[in-house]
């Protein structure tokens, strides 16, 4: 056998050969499954967009809450470095420096 014949036989052996066809039912099922996959991917994309919008709303909500808290701190005269807390009933407790406590005591006595 010549080298040319060996190369031709190897090339033919590696080529795909038709061995049959899918049935109409198999074709319809595959088509339906592809359609379902596309719909699911579309829904997933919509959910990702919605997730992004919700995350933005959460960030905006948090920023607004921080503004309200900062405004309350300022209104109550709590320094920025003083530890303080808002309780469930809306009362505010803080650890005030001695100079602030003395000022309150003096104003209460007067």
pLDDT one-digit tens code per residue, 48-105: 999 999 999 999 999 999 999 999 999 999 998 999 999 999 999 998 876 544 445 4
Whether residues 95 and 57 fall in one domain: no
Whether residues 33 and 46 fall in one domain: yes
- Does 4 fall in a domain? no
- What pLDDT, on a 0 to 100 scale, did the predictor assign at position 12? 67
Whether residues 61 and 40 fall in one domain: yes
Whether residues 66 and 106 fall in one domain: no
- What pLDDT, on a 0 to 100 scale, did the predictor assign at position 109? 46
Whether residues 28 and 71 fall in one domain: yes
Report d(CA 39, CA 46) in Å as an integer.
Answer: 11
Chain centre distance of CA 59: 11
Whether residues 43 and 62 fall in one domain: yes
pLDDT band, residue 9 (cuts 50/70/90): low
Claim: this prediction has a pTM higher than 0.85: no
Whether residues 86 and 60 fall in one domain: no
- What pLDDT, on a 0 to 100 scale, did the predictor assign at position 62? 98
Whether residues 29 and 67 fall in one domain: yes
Return the bridge partners of 25, or none: none
Q: Domain count of the chain?
A: 2
pLDDT band, residue 36 (cuts 50/70/90): very high
- Domain hosting 63: range is 24-75
- Does 66 fall in a domain? yes
What does 3-53 look like in DSSP terms, one character per residue? HHHHHHHHHHHTS--------HHHHHHHHHHHHHHHHHHHHHHHHHHHHHH
Whether residues 67 and 87 fall in one domain: no
Report helix, strand or coil for 67: helix
- What pLDDT, on a 0 to 100 scale, did the predictor assign at position 106? 42
Whether residues 71 and 28 fall in one domain: yes
């Amino acid at each position: 056998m010549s080298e040319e014949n060996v190369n031709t036989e190897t090339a033919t052996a590696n080529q795909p050969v038709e061995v049959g066809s899918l049935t109409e039912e198999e074709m319809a099922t595959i088509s339906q499954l592809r359609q379902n996959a596309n719909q699911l991917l579309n829904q997933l994309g919509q959910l990702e967009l919605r997730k992004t919008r919700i995350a933005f709303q959460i960030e905006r909500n948090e920023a607004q809450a921080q503004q309200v808290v900062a405004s309350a701190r300022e209104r109550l005269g709590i320094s920025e470095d003083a530890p303080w807390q808002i309780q469930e009933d809306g009362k505010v407790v803080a650890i005030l420096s001695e100079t602030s406590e003395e000022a309150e005591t003096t104003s209460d006595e007067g």
